[in-house]
Amino acid sequence: YNPLWGWYGRVQYTHPTGAPGCDHFGLNYYSRGLMDWKLQAVANPCEVMTDMPYALWAEGMFDALDGIKELDVPIYITETGCADKGDDVRPIMIESYFSAIEEARRRKYNLRGVLYWSLVDNFEWAFGYTMKFGVYGS
């Protein structure tokens, strides 16, 4: 149980005129956090772990979009991707996450765009240049 999530999930804003509180919504989605009793990142036996300490969780992408659609504003997925130095997890991630995105589009969610993270590798604050997010790498 994360008490912060309970607080965050209850944040609501209603404009006095009834208009949405924003012009659009940007979603950064990578996965869920799953930890063992020592607070180490883990994956269930059937899940695929990325090089970052999280497993792929495409269901969460759809769940996030499903909740955001209630805002009735355009949705942009501003970040999604995975660290994968061997390029064996990335195709699974793209196929499963984009299947969730396609399902949201099929259900007529107001999803306007997806920005994949990232074209090239980048500096990660906690890991430096060790994580390979880029689809085009050196």
Please give the positions annotated as active site. 79
CA dist., res. 87 & res. 133, Å (int): 10
Report yes or no: 65 and 27 within 8 Å, Cβ to Cβ: yes
* Paired residues of 79 in beta bridges: 28
The Cβ-side half-sphere exposure at 44, using a 13 Å CA radius, reads 6
Whether 138 and 129 have beta carbons less than 8 Å apart is answered as no
Dist CA 21 CA 72 (whole Å): 10
| Beta-sheet strand order (sheet of 75-80) | 25-28, 75-80, 111-116
